A = this chain, B = another copy of it.
Amino acid sequence: MNKPRIKSELKRNQILDAATLQFTQHGYAATSMDHIAKLAGVSKQTVYSHFGNKDELFITAISYKCEQLGVTELLPENLGPVESTLTLFSQRFFAMITSTDSMAVHRTCAAECVAHPHLSKLFFEAGPLFVIDKLANCLAEYHRRGELDIEDCREAAIQLLAIIKGEQWTRLEFNIAESLSEQEINHYLQRSVRLFVRGYQSLG
C-alpha cells in the first residue's frame, strides 16, 4: 500500500524529462501541459500534483539544466605549453556550447529573458560567467610564468571565448543548414588560438 513514495519519484523524473524536452524544443508558450503529460505517460492531474502550475514546472526543468552546465572539465589538470593548452580548451569549449542540450537551453533562456529574468540570469552565471572565471585563472597562471603578457586576464578570457564561438556558433543558433565540417572547425580553432597567443605574447 505504500508504493506511491517511490512510484512518485519515478513519475516526477519522467515529467521533468518530458517538460525539458518540450520547453526547450518548442518554447514556453507553445508547449502545453497536455503534451507534457502525454509524453511523460502520466495524466495531467499528476503533473499538477507534482509541480503546481506550468510556470513552476518550467522553472524547475530549466533550472536543473542550467545547474548541469558546468560539469564538463575544460582545462587539463597540469598546464603545459600555452598554445596546446588553449587549443585543447577551445575544442572542449566549442564542443560543449554547440551540444544540442546547450543550444536548446540557451535559446530557451534567451527567448524567456523578459518573462523569466531569473532563469536567464541563472543560465548566464552557470554558463558564460563560470567559464570566463576559469579561463581567466588559467591565463593569469601563464602571465605569472611570463609566457603571456596580459594586463587584464578577465578581459582576455572574454576575447578568446568570443573568438572561439565565431560564426559557426551563430549558424547553429539560427539553425542554418550549411555548417562547417569538424576539420574546418578545428582549423578555425587552431588559427584563432594562434591569433590570441600572438596578440598577447611576451616580447621580452
Contact = CB atoms under 8 A, between A and B. Distances in A.
A115 B200 CA distance: 43
B174 A123 contact: yes
A195 B156 CA distance: 9
- Quickly give the copy total for this chain: 2
A53 interface: no
A104 B37 CA distance: 32
Contacts of A163: 159, 162-163
Nearest to A198: B199
Interface residues of A, number: 46
Contact of A188 (B29, B155, B175, B191): B155
A196 interface: yes
Contact of A128 (B162, B170, B194): B170
Contacts of A159: 163, 166, 192, 195
Nearest to A169: B162
Contact of A166 (B30, B152, B158, B173): B158
A190 to B, nearest CB: 11
Interface of A: 25-30, 107, 109-111, 113-115, 117, 120-121, 123-124, 128, 132, 152, 155-156, 158-159, 161-163, 165-167, 170-171, 173-176, 188, 191-192, 194-196, 198-200
